[in-house]
Amino acid sequence: MKKYFVYLMMALAAFTFNACGDDDPVTEEPGTEQPGTPDDPNDNSDDSDEPEGPNDPDTPSGDSNILVAYFSWGGTTQRMAQQIVEQTGADLFRIEPVTPYPEDYTECTEVALEERDSDARPAISSTIDEEAWAAYDTIFIGCPVWWHTTPMIICTFAESYDFAGKAVVPFCTYASTYRDETLARIAELTSGAEAHLDGLGLTSGSLSNESNVENWLREIGIIE
């Protein structure tokens, strides 16, 4: 009997390790989801932290009528943004803060929480040319879930541009919860848009199946 109990405890320990070792959040308190995990700096996948879209992510050209703008701390949201670009041929814009977030996970969670609680607007290091912005009909806006909502730099981005006459499509990456709240927040921040298409939130594991993004884009009429 004792032997079976030991085996049971070993199996439980292995399950717990695997559950926390992918992109699940480290939760200090019940219901408190910390930033980063879906964008986990300890993610050992082959994803580079540099975007690999068809266009320079810092200088969207306006050649496409679709823009994918995203913030990513550790790479997961970047992966989703790149999949959207691959399917649509959209321009890509990486939302990067003037003052980078700490690379250390715990330090980053502390900064992110302070920004949320103070309703901060972190400055963005680059802007989209006015002429290029005018050429876009559809704007995808994506981010990880940080402390139950969008990182505050998404507020900065949304308040920096006029969304009148444009369709906004929210997307996010998340570990376990607050997907719908984050998608709704992006829509709320861009309330001046002409339309909001159904958004999508994916976990890191779900991104491994690229048909998830492809099927979503078909459902909302972005691709045929």
Burial degree of 15 (CB within 10 A; 0-12, 13-18, 19+):
exposed
pLDDT at 119: 98
Give yes or no for residue 61 having a pLDDT over 80: no
Do residues 111 and 101 touch, judged by C-beta distance below 8 A? yes
Point out the least confidently predicted range of 35-39, 70-74, 181-185, 218-222.
35-39
Q: Which helix (H) or strand (E) is 171 found in, with range? A: strand 167-173
Higher-confidence position of 86 and 176: 86
| Cα gap 23→35, rounded to integer Å | 11
Band the pLDDT of 192: cuts 50, 70, 90.
Answer: very high
Three-class SS of residue 153?
Answer: helix
Residue-range domains of the chain with CATH: 52-219 (3.40.50.360)
Mean pLDDT taken over the chain: 81
Higher pLDDT, 59 or 10: 59
User: CB atoms < 10 A from the CB of 111, how many?
Assistant: 21
Closest CA to 122 of 147, 164, 152: 152
Report the pLDDT value the prediction gives residue 29, as an integer from 0 to 100. 28
Q: How confident is the model at residue 136 (pLDDT cuts 50, 70, 90)?
A: very high
Decide if pLDDT at 128 tops 50: yes
The Cα 155–Cα 160 span in angstroms is 9
* Contacts (Cβ under 8 Å, ≥6 apart) of 34: 25, 26, 27, 28, 109, 112, 146, 147
pLDDT in tens, 143-175: 999 999 999 999 999 999 999 999 999 999 999
Token reading at 24: 């699940």
Beta strands in 9-129 (DSSP E): 66-70, 91-94
Pairwise CA distance, residues 197 & 120, whole Å:
27
Look-up of token digits 């990880």? 144
Q: Could you tell me the pLDDT band of residue 63, with boundaries at 50, 70 and 90?
A: confident
pTM: predicted TM-score of the whole model, two decimal places: 0.78
What tokens were used for 10? 């070993």
